[in-house]
Amino acid sequence: MALVQQLLDQHPGPLPIKGTFQCLSTEVFDFIVSGVSVRKPNTAVGAAGVEIYIFDKDGKQVGYTSGTIDGTLTGGRRATVAQFGQTSLSAGETYTFEVRPVFPECASDEKDFYTATIIY
Amino acid sequence: MDIQEIFSVHLQKLPYTTKFEMLSNAQAFLYVAASVTARNSAGLIGVNVKIDGTVLASSVVYANEPGSSRPTVAMLIKIPNPTLGEHELTLEATTQITTTGSLDYACGTIFYQGLSADPFIWRFSGKVPQTTKFKSPMFGKAVLYLAGSGYIKSPQVCGLSVTLDGKAVAKTQMLPGIGNSHFAFPPIFVPVDLKPKEYDIGVSTTIGEVLSDDNDNFEIGILY
């Protein structure tokens, strides 16, 4: 049986999105955030994407991963190439997470949806 | 489940090759996500995924706009006869019109299944909805994977959903930017509660306006 925990289930934007979770294991775990991204109009050509940070109770960053994509406005939103991140935390402890655009030039709104999952 | 990140790159050229160490002889699955660019005409673009020189699968998407970067339909690929030690992974262009732009990316992750039952992997192309059956060997939570592509005449929020015995258990949605242009939905990994029984599993669109044809690919997996 898999030990899997959903942090966001098709949560609509805009970013950032914040939340908390209770870690289920002391084992190393992997986590991923998927969604779409695009750069805002009148910004330089470049990458776009979505990232997720995990913080402990003291606000220290204890986990990070992201997904990136060509952010060219022509063509609109694209699904990010979402990569897994890996970390280990303390079982039973509560942590906070925040899903953000990877650059301030990235757009997001209520028509964008984000899914974030931990697989232990 | 043991998980191993094996590469994450700014994909500046194809072929791309990297070495990695298999950490176990257990059955293993490779998640590959990528974006590539259509060189000079519309058509299928993507990457063939090779391990030790053997093509295991192709992660593709149909690109309607030449010169435009597109994420491919990310895949879960069974690694045949996994053996401990060093191996070589290569991503190569699936078609002649596949190239890489300045902003293409790729990543790969291995899932080791240990002694668990064989995962259910369902890969097809064409129209949706489609249904099939699978037999769950377990009681409890599994990981459901969903990826696919499609197109829509007039851009609006749309998505794909997975049903088990007719009940929706997962969906992925987005607002595509261009009408009548194929696009890949964001791939998702989500928990799903199972019982030890046979299920009818289906893939459909969240709204009727989403279309798909033989150029669209779908990947559904259940990892125990």
Residues 6+ apart with CB under 8 A from B208: none
Note the pLDDT of residue B203: 98
Interchain CB distance below 8 Å, A70 and B106: no
Q: Does A36 contact B174 at a Cβ distance shorter than 8 Å? A: yes
Tokens of A36: 């779409």
Residues of chain B with pLDDT under 50: none
Cα A85 from Cα B157, distance rounded (Å): 28
3-state helix, strand, coil in chain B (%, to 5): 0, 65, 35
Nearest to B5 among A72, A84, A113 (CB): A84
DSSP string covering B74-126, please? -EEEEESS--SEEEEEEEEESSTTEE--TT-EEEEEEEEEETSPPPEEEEEES
- List the single residue in A with minimal CA-CA distance to B189: A117
pLDDT of residue A74: 82
What are the tokens at A88?
């280990």
Q: Chain A contacts of B177, Cβ < 8 Å? A: 38, 74-78
Q: What percent of chain A has pLDDT over 90?
A: 95
End-to-end CA distance of chain A: 11
For tokens 């994509």, the residue is: A69
Answer whether A41 touches B (CB < 8 Å).
no
Distance CA A69, CA A71 (A): 6
Question: B53 in the Ramachandran plot: left (φ > 0), alpha (ψ -120 to 50) or beta?
Answer: left
Nearest to B138 by CA among B193, B220, B191: B193
Q: Which residue of A has its CA nearest to B223?
A: A2
Contact list in A for residue B69 (CB cut-off 8 A) is: 69-70, 72, 75, 78
B42-57 pLDDT per residue, tens:
999 999 999 999 999 9
SS3 state of residue A2: coil
CA B99 to chain centre: 19
Closest CB to A81 among B35, B173, B176: B35
Report the gap between the CA of A56 and the closest CA in chain B (Å). 23
pLDDT in tens, B110-138: 999 876 678 899 999 999 999 999 999 99
Residues A2-13, mean pLDDT to the nearest whole number: 96
H or E element in which residue B162 lies: strand B158-164
Chain A contact set for B29 (CB, 8 A): none
CB-neighbour burial class of residue B26 (10 A; exposed 0-12, middle 13-18, buried 19+): middle
Going across the sheet that includes B158-164, the strands are B130-135, B198-205, B158-164, B167-174
CB A25 within 8 Å of CB A31? no
Shortest CA gap B53–chain A (Å): 24
Residue A1 has pLDDT above 80, yes or no: no
Which of B189, B206, B222 to mutate to probe the A interface, most A CBs <10 Å? B189
pLDDT at B116 (0 to 100)? 67
Q: Residue A22: pLDDT band by 50, 70, 90 thresholds?
A: very high
pLDDT of A75 reads: 80
pLDDT at A2 over 90: no
Domains plus CATH for chain B?
2-113 (2.60.120.40), 116-223 (2.60.120.760)
> Please, are residues B162 and B169 in contact by the beta-carbon 8 Å criterion?
yes
Distance of alpha carbon A99 from alpha carbon A54, whole angstroms: 9
Residue A84 reports pLDDT greater than 70 = yes
As a whole number of Å, the CA-based R_g of chain B is 17
Find residue B159's DSSP bridge partners: B173
A59, with CB counted inside 10 A (0-12, 13-18, 19+), is exposed
The mean pLDDT value for A27-41 works out to 96
Domains and their CATH numbers in chain A:
4-119 (2.60.120)
- CB distance A77 to A37 below 8 Å: yes
User: Residues A33-50: what's their mean pLDDT?
Assistant: 96
Which residues have a Cβ under 8 Å from the Cβ of B173 and sit 6 or more positions away? Answer: A10, A113, B157, B158, B159, B185, B206
Rounded to the nearest angstrom, the minimum Cα separation between A66 and chain B is: 10
Task: Spell out which residues of chain B touch residue A71, defining contact as CB-CB under 8 Å.
Answer: 103
- A30 interaction partners in chain B (CB closer than 8 Å): 3, 5, 109
* Interchain contact, B69 vs A72, CB within 8 Å: yes
